[in-house]
Amino acid sequence: MTAMQGAGSLFGRDVGVLFRRLADASFGFAAAVEGDRRSGMDREGGLAEARTALEGFLTLELGSDFAVPRHVRDHVTHSLDALGDGKVELAQHDAQRAGEEFERHLITLRRLSH
């Protein structure tokens, strides 16, 4: 079982949506950087997808009862800043780190709850 598979029931619906936003950002960056033929998304479409997902993460996180670790939020913010500066690879790296750190946090919380 992955961290996400048990997150919805253990932590509430918001956690699943937050996690999905980070996954959507990764998908968008992959489409932009690598050219995802299956999705039919071009570079600009991928970057728009990533930006929307990251902005959605921050918006949802503000209204959530779930405490997102500061370092995760910081990676998301840094990713958006790098994206705004045209530094796509750096933005992708920060978004990826945010997802990894968020998943690590969920795993830790799940272990502590058992």
In the chain, where the domains are located: 10-113
The verdict on domain 10-113 having CATH code 1.20.120 is yes
Q: What is the pLDDT of residue 36?
A: 57
Round to whole Å and give the CA distance between 110 and 48. Answer: 33
Look up residue 35 and give its two tokens.
Answer: 């050219």
The confidence band for 111, taking pLDDT boundaries of 50, 70 and 90, is confident
pTM for the model stands at 0.84
Q: How far is CA 106 from CA 3, 42, 51, 66, 87, in A?
A: 6, 32, 23, 11, 29
Kindly report, residue by residue over 21-32, the tens digit of the pLDDT.
999 999 999 888
Stretch 77-92: mean pLDDT, rounded? 96
- Check pLDDT > 50 for residue 8: no
Closest CA to 67 of 112, 12, 111, 22: 12
Kindly report, residue by residue over 40-61, the tens digit of the pLDDT.
678 889 999 999 999 999 999 9
Look up residue 15 and give its two tokens.
Answer: 């956690």
